[in-house]
Structure 1
Amino acid sequence: MNSRTTPRLGRSLAAGLLAGATVLAFAPGAGAAAPSGQGPAGAGRTDSAGLQQALDAITSQAGALSAIAEVRENGKVTWRGSTGVGDLATKAPAPVDGRFRAGSVTKTFVATVALQLSAEGRIGLDDPIEHYLPGAVPNGGAITVREVLNHTAGIFDYLEDPQFAGDTEAEQEQFVATDRWKTYTPQQLVAIATSHPPYFAPGQGWHYSNTDYQLIAEVIDKVTGHSWRTEVRDRILRPLGLRHTSLPGTATTIPGPHAHAYLPLTAGPADVTDLNASQAGPAGELISTTDDLARFNAALLGGRLLAPAQLAEMTTTVAADVDPPTRYGLGLMRISLPCGDFWGHPGGIYNYTTYVFGDRSGTRQVAISVTPYDPAKSAELNPTVFGLMGRALCPTGAGS
């Protein structure tokens, strides 16, 4: 899957992990690192020094401004760490418990709600999308809810429309000055997508499309009579006590402590932390912390949010047309490390990049947030992140 670098919501929010091209920024160097690793007493086999070294590599080798991470096992934090500069103006280090924009990790939350509604008999995974959203997309009678959830519907990704390009310096300056404050509705974004032909006939390929989750959110709204944000809050955030996770809608700020994100311009770094994330919405507007995301992953894979039948549906995968080979389920992807397979989702939005993965039993998780910056080193982001993930998820540090 191809994905060009863009300062905006990445054309493929999963591209970072899937195809080696995350939603990156592009320009010179990060500030001096300020490492801070914590390994709670009783962390046992956790290699705190090795994890901190792997985290530091994300800033020193991959040119990110900052990175934070947390590892959990059996419901307890075994390590958390921070590296790099969280605010170029004050030179403050990235807060280890800071919030960030989690991008496409949002999709897993939305898919979880859809599967809960499926268990309640309110959404049929093999029903045509036309049944819920008449006339929303061409050929909607031939596209199933399942195909929309796993990106096999062939529906054009609205972020591949030229208006979301951001490839030139002038476009980036326009984004900083005006475009990041724009409000979009799901209907507007779907209309942009359907002005383009589909990638392929339903079920005949795989292409990551943010439009898919705009549609799923509309289905949730339709069958519940509530907004998808309300359903995520009431079904996931409140029951799990994810107090530092929010769905901002058109609110432009990140609450609480957080690292800033910057877009490199010729005139200097532009702080793009504040923005209107309605361009992302159910495809990527979530704000969270590493602790909340790791706990969500544990609850999901541990069977606390979905019945066994629905979790089996979520983890039934199709081949994702990317390199390295990856498989995609219903809002959840499976990656392979030397010690086994792990489940979760990456996300990227406006120079925040997120990864949250855990084992299938819900026993061990890692959550990572990065603020990428230096384009000359962007090719090193995935290797350094995978190095950290390998140390975190594989008992012997395989993959590091």
Structure 2
Amino acid sequence: MSITQAGQNEPTPRTGPDRPELQKIIEEIVDSGFVGMTLRVNDERGEWVGSAGAAVLGGTAEPPVDGHVRIGSTTKTFTAALVLRLVAEGGLELDAPVADHLPESGLDERITVRMLLQHTSGVFNFTGDYDPDGTYVPGIAATTAGREWVENRFTTYRPQELVELALSKPARFEPGTDWSYSNTNYVLARLLIEKATGHTYAEELQRLVLGPLGLSGTAAPTTWPDVPEPHAHAYYRYQDAGREETVDVTRHNPSWISTGGDMISTTRDLHTFVSALMGGRLLPAPLLAEMCTPHPKAGYGLGVFVQDAGPDGGTVISHNGGIAGHAALMYSTPDGGRTLTASLNYVDDAALSLGEAFQKATQRLVGEVFGGGRAGSADAAGPAR
């Protein structure tokens, strides 16, 4: 797989005297426990880009503002946009049964394409899920936290394996009757895309999304373990025989999460993508409206969260994601005119210790950029595991 180092030779906007509040926030976010962070804001005042913290644990150089990052569950917005592009072409129908294309999967015939994209299928989440009584049911071995994940992080998983494990578990609920976030839905979407088109997911993503928008810093790596330069490093911490070990896990095989969260991008490309998507450059207006119509339980549309930015902030469209020490934030106004994209690198662990700080960070930024300086709500899509 090749991926260009997008934006490296372009001038980088510097922190201006009119946006010190943004620099202050990202510095405080790093101080809350993250290794490093970069932020890109595009609004009526132009583009502002800044960074804080370190690219390498214990280092002094800040993360590269145009660096590549694993974007985790933000992958789902790209996948949903691709499915909807295929719907626009006539190759798929939102309310048709997925089993029409994947009869060998054993999928409940009532589950539609729309249900996959909106997490209303009821299919078990292969990275782990909860029974109605709150009992945790583990998923694939790759999501077993701790030393086991570190030692097996280069294992290859086929998408079909992930789906088979999920379908071996009881459904969470009857299709279409409830909402539950499940990475399995988006792996099924990948298989659906490939069966309907006869091409790989990566090929169709390039044809219909990445290519038309010129997103040269973005890719679906499949099994490729590397993150292209430049990039900040990601880490994982675990206990081993009473000792705490911290390992650089920037390189790992992301097939364990597949299209639930395997993509790599840059804050520049995320801005270009979400502003084009919300601005109507990828989808016909009726399909964009479908995408941004939220389920009442979770405020989730088709691959995006639709949320309130706080007092006087209006609505924002978003999808964040985190995966093994890397994370991405992606927010936009419904017209694509104002966006916030960010990347973080940190030390992940089994307890997801930075989960609360991750949520507070997003709330603070959304409040500042979209809500007139008042903290708004933030979507709950954190670490993919």
TM over 0.5: yes
- Higher mean alpha-carbon deviation, 84-93 vs 97-106, is at 84-93
Identity, in percent, stands at 37
The yes-or-no answer on 1:334 pairing with 2:306 is yes
User: Structure 2 vs 1, CA of residues 99 and 146 (structure 1 numbering), >3 Å: closer, same or farther?
Assistant: same
Provide the rounded CA distance (Å) in 2 between the counterparts of 1:328 and 1:293: 19
Correspondence for 1:64 among 23, 34, 40: 34
Q: CA deviation at 1:102?
A: 0.4
Provide the rounded CA distance (Å) in 1 between the counterparts of 2:126 and 2:307: 26
| Equivalence for 2:72 | 103
Q: Is the 8 A contact 1:39 1:78 kept in 2?
A: no
Correspondence for 2:125 among 142, 147, 157: 157
| Equivalence for 2:245 | 268
* Paired residues for 1:11-90 under 5 Å: 38-39=14-15, 47-61=18-32, 63-73=33-43, 78-88=47-57, 90=59
User: Structure 2 vs 1, CA of residues 269 and 91 (structure 1 numbering), >3 Å: closer, same or farther?
Assistant: farther
Q: CA deviation at 1:163?
A: 5.1
* Paired residues for 1:114-193 under 5 Å: 114-139=83-108, 141-160=109-128, 162=138, 164=140, 171-177=145-151, 179-193=152-166
Secondary structure of the equivalent of 2:187? helix
- Higher mean alpha-carbon deviation, 371-380 vs 302-311, is at 371-380
Unaligned stretches of 5+ residues in structure 2: 1-11, 129-136, 377-385
Q: CA deviation at 1:302?
A: 0.1
Unaligned stretches of 5+ residues in structure 1: 1-35, 41-45, 321-325
| Equivalence for 2:374 | 398
| Equivalence for 2:320 | 346
Provide the rounded CA distance (Å) in 2 between the counterparts of 1:71 and 1:194: 41
Q: Which amino acid aligns with 1:207?
A: S
- Size of the alignment, in residue pairs? 348
User: Structure 2 vs 1, CA of residues 218 and 99 (structure 1 numbering), >3 Å: closer, same or farther?
Assistant: same
Secondary structure of the equivalent of 1:181? coil
Provide the rounded CA distance (Å) in 2 between the counterparts of 1:268 and 1:387: 31
Provide the rounded CA distance (Å) in 2 between the counterparts of 1:238 and 1:309: 23
| Equivalence for 1:380 | 357
Q: Structure 1 length as normaliser, TM-score?
A: 0.82
CA offset digits 1:191-221 (Å, max 9, x no partner) = 0101100100001110001110111111111
* Paired residues for 1:316-327 under 5 Å: 316-320=293-297, 326-327=298-299
Higher relative contact order (CA 8 A, sep 6+): 1
Q: Which amino acid aligns with 1:70?
A: R
Provide the rounded CA distance (Å) in 2 between the counterparts of 1:335 and 1:227: 33
Q: Is the 8 A contact 2:275 2:332 kept in 1?
A: yes
Q: Structure 2 length as normaliser, TM-score?
A: 0.85
Q: Is the 8 A contact 1:37 1:52 kept in 2?
A: no
User: Structure 2 vs 1, CA of residues 234 and 362 (structure 1 numbering), >3 Å: closer, same or farther?
Assistant: same
User: Structure 2 vs 1, CA of residues 392 and 95 (structure 1 numbering), >3 Å: closer, same or farther?
Assistant: same
